[in-house]
């Protein structure tokens, strides 16, 4: 795939509802952090291996959950008003599901027979998956957002996003927050939590803001507290 970067989608995202930005920042951060962990794993250190294996398995679960939400909520909405508009991205989702299986077996091989070779196989597999997923998410944020913005109002898109958020179990929302919040800009963190405070029951806001404040470095947590006050 050759990608021509275009400033227009990023400009449009600043004025339209964009349900991809926050979760994709979380996924990009998780991909990058996990790739670095896998690259520097000490194959002779059982604790380091276990932490790396756990991180890769968590990443695969997180990416699979995100893919399922797009398949269930975003693609049907696109197809409902722009028939055929999801063909390319849906095919990429099926390829990602194959990549999940490939990476799961690479993790299993590394766990069963830790060596420089099995670590390199896992690391390079993760790198290729990250490369494909980065391009995929860029297409969603440019091409697919253009379809959504043309076919739906911002209020309708916010309603779709609300259904995705409502479908998350509390522990799934907390897990997503744990990786998402450190990956967002300060203003995005404040906007996200203000929106939850306005719409969700108070205990949900308390739980998620607690997760947010616990995962942020002290200065970022102080800024978030101030922005929400």
Query: How near is the Cβ of 40 to Fe ion at its closest, in Å?
Result: 28
| Residue whose CB is less far from Fe ion, 19 or 114 | 19
Binding mask 147-176 for Fe ion (x = CB under 5 A): ------------------------------
User: How is residue 208 written in tokens?
Assistant: 């998620």
Segment interacting with Fe ion, rule: CB under 5 A, options 63-71, 114-122, 155-163, 184-192:
63-71
Cα-based torsion angle of the residue sequence 85, 88, 90, 93 in order, rounded to the nearest 10 degrees:
-150
- CA proximity to 177, closest of 138, 204, 144, 143: 204
Residue 1 DSSP one-character state: -
Q: What are the distances in angstroms from CA 177 to CA 6, 105, 171, 218?
A: 29, 28, 10, 17
Query: How near is the Cβ of 96 to Fe ion at its closest, in Å?
Result: 7
The secondary structure of 21-82 as a DSSP string is HHHHHHHHHHHHHHHHHHHH--TT-HHHHHHHHHHHHHHHHHHHHHHHHIIIIIHHHHHHHS
| Residue whose CB is less far from Fe ion, 183 or 208 | 183
| Residue whose CB is less far from Fe ion, 74 or 208 | 74
Q: Which residues does 177 contact at the CB level (< 8 Å), separation at least 6? A: 208, 211, 212, 215
List 70, 141, 144, 175, residue binding Fe ion (CB under 5 A): 70
First to last CA, the chain: 46
Positions 91 through 150 that interact with Fe ion (CB under 5 A): none
| Residue whose CB is less far from Fe ion, 16 or 93 | 93
Query: How near is the Cβ of 112 to Fe ion at its closest, in Å?
Result: 31
Segment interacting with Fe ion, rule: CB under 5 A, options 69-77, 126-134, 173-181, 218-226:
69-77
Query: How near is the Cβ of 70 to Fe ion at its closest, in Å?
Result: 5
Total chain residues near Fe ion (CB under 5 A)? 1
| Residue whose CB is less far from Fe ion, 70 or 141 | 70
Binding site for Fe ion (CB under 5 A): 70
């Amino acid at each position: 795939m050759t990608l021509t970067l275009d400033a227009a989608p990023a400009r449009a995202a600043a004025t339209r509802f964009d349900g991809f930005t926050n979760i994709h920042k979380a996924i990009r951060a998780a991909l990058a952090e996990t790739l670095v962990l896998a690259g520097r794993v000490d194959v002779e250190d059982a604790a380091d291996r276990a932490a790396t294996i756990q991180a890769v398995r968590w990443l695969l679960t997180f990416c699979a959950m995100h893919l399922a939400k797009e398949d269930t909520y975003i693609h049907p909405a696109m197809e409902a008003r722009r028939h055929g508009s999801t063909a390319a991205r849906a095919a990429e989702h099926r390829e990602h599901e194959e990549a999940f299986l490939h990476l799961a077996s690479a993790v299993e091989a590394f766990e069963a027979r830790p060596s420089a070779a099995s670590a390199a196989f896992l690391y390079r597999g993760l790198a290729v998956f990250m490369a494909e997923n980065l391009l995929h998410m860029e297409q969603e944020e440019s091409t697919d957002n253009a379809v959504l913005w043309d076919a739906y109002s911002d209020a309708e898109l916010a309603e779709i996003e609300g259904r995705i958020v409502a479908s998350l179990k509390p522990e799934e929302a907390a897990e997503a927050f744990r990786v998402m919040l450190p990956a967002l800009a300060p203003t995005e963190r404040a906007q996200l939590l203000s929106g939850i405070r306005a719409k969700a029951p108070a205990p949900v806001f308390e739980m998620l803001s607690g997760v947010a404040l616990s995962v942020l470095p002290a200065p970022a947590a102080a800024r978030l507290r101030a922005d929400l006050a």
